[in-house]
Amino acid sequence: MARILTICTRLSEVSHTMSIAEAYPEVYFAVGVHPQHAMEEKNCSVEDLLAIASHPKMVGIGETGLDYHYTVATASEQMQLFLVHIEAARRSGLPLIVHSRDADEDMIATLHAEYTRGHFSCVMHCYSSGERLAQAACSMGFYVSMSGIVTFRNAAELRRIFSTVPADQLLIETDAPYLAPVPRRGKRNEPAFVRHVAEAGAELLGLDYASFAALSTRNFLRLFRRVDGFDAGPAS
């Protein structure tokens, strides 16, 4: 059975996301407050997230993180919320889904400090940051996820970074409805387009499509262990 993970980026919209997951057996969900909404939902607590995490189809915490590209003015509020999400991931055992943009140094320092305080699992969602952050994430056993950006003509450096990520720490995604991959660029992105991302990933690793698809699926199910019907072995 195919499996789809949909991400809710506002606690105020979680009931809608939850209803989708409940209506379709193949759909699972994650919940968090996106850093761009930090001021609107700054009262989100660890307890709020843990209460939602009791739902059997909630499989991740986030997306959350730091975004200084559009909203650097709310950096302190973003950081406070990010720490709330990390603690919720630590306490629930669910993986953290991290958004990071133009915040590499703060992200490296925060992830390292928090991981030292206590283990949690994590994926760097829709990765488009620099090599140092990718290396730091991988050194802590985190996953790094490629989106349609890797298919863009001007993404040679990002493709090079992904070629250095250990194969068992790679994930793929669409980030729909944004960032549609080549040859669908400019269109509304959708889950079916993840095949194009997988084709790009297979080329980077020198694998055939079927082998890469099996690898990325296994990695996903190892990280998101609450997704049922699969035993991926020990968690990273």
- Asked if residue 132 and residue 218 are part of one domain, the reply reads yes
Instruction: Report which of 128, 126, 91, 124 is spatially closest to residue 110, judged by C-alpha positions.
Output: 124
Please check whether residue 208 lies inside any domain of the structure. yes
Please check whether residue 25 lies inside any domain of the structure. yes
pLDDT at 36: 95
Please check whether residue 70 lies inside any domain of the structure. yes
- Asked if residue 77 and residue 175 are part of one domain, the reply reads no
- Asked if residue 142 and residue 52 are part of one domain, the reply reads no
- Asked if residue 127 and residue 82 are part of one domain, the reply reads no
- Asked if residue 220 and residue 126 are part of one domain, the reply reads yes
Please check whether residue 95 lies inside any domain of the structure. no
pLDDT at 101: 97
H-type helices in the chain, by residue range?
A: 14-23, 46-52, 75-92, 104-117, 131-139, 156-163, 194-205, 209-223
Check which CATH number belongs to the domain holding 155 and give it.
Answer: 3.20.20.140
Please check whether residue 235 lies inside any domain of the structure. no
- Asked if residue 199 and residue 140 are part of one domain, the reply reads yes
How many CB atoms neighbour CB 19 within 10 A?
Answer: 11
**Counting Cβ atoms within 10 Å, is residue 111 exposed (0-12), middle (13-18) or buried (19+)?**
buried
- List Cα–Cα distances, 57 to 30, 166, 212, in angstroms: 8, 28, 26
- Asked if residue 223 and residue 125 are part of one domain, the reply reads yes
How many CB atoms neighbour CB 164 within 10 A?
Answer: 12
pLDDT tens track for 28-75: 999 999 999 999 999 999 999 999 999 999 999 999 999 999 888 999
Please check whether residue 198 lies inside any domain of the structure. yes
Helices 209-223 & 194-205, crossing angle to 10 degrees?
Answer: 110
pTM for the model: 0.94
Query: What is the count of structural domains for the chain?
Result: 2
- Asked if residue 126 and residue 80 are part of one domain, the reply reads no
pLDDT at 235: 43
**Residue 232 pLDDT exceeds 50:** no
The domain containing residue 79 runs over which residues? 1-86
For 223, the token pair is 């990280």
Task: Please give the share of the chain, as a percent, with pLDDT higher than 90.
Answer: 94
Q: What pairs with residue 96 in β-bridges?
A: 61, 122
Please check whether residue 81 lies inside any domain of the structure. yes
- Asked if residue 198 and residue 137 are part of one domain, the reply reads yes
pLDDT tens track for 142-170: 999 999 999 999 999 999 999 999 999 99
Over range 83-98, report the average pLDDT. Answer: 98
> How far, in Å, CA of 155 to CA of 89, rounded?
31
pLDDT tens track for 91-106: 999 999 999 999 999 9
**Residue 2 pLDDT exceeds 80:** yes
> How far, in Å, CA of 34 to CA of 101, rounded?
12
> How far, in Å, CA of 35 to CA of 22, rounded?
26
**Residue 230 pLDDT exceeds 90:** no
pLDDT at 168: 97
pLDDT tens track for 179-225: 999 999 999 999 999 999 999 999 999 999 999 999 999 999 999 99
**Residue 1 pLDDT exceeds 90:** no
- Asked if residue 142 and residue 49 are part of one domain, the reply reads no
Please check whether residue 91 lies inside any domain of the structure. no
Q: Would you say the C-alpha torsion 212, 217, 218, 222 has a positive or negative sign?
A: positive
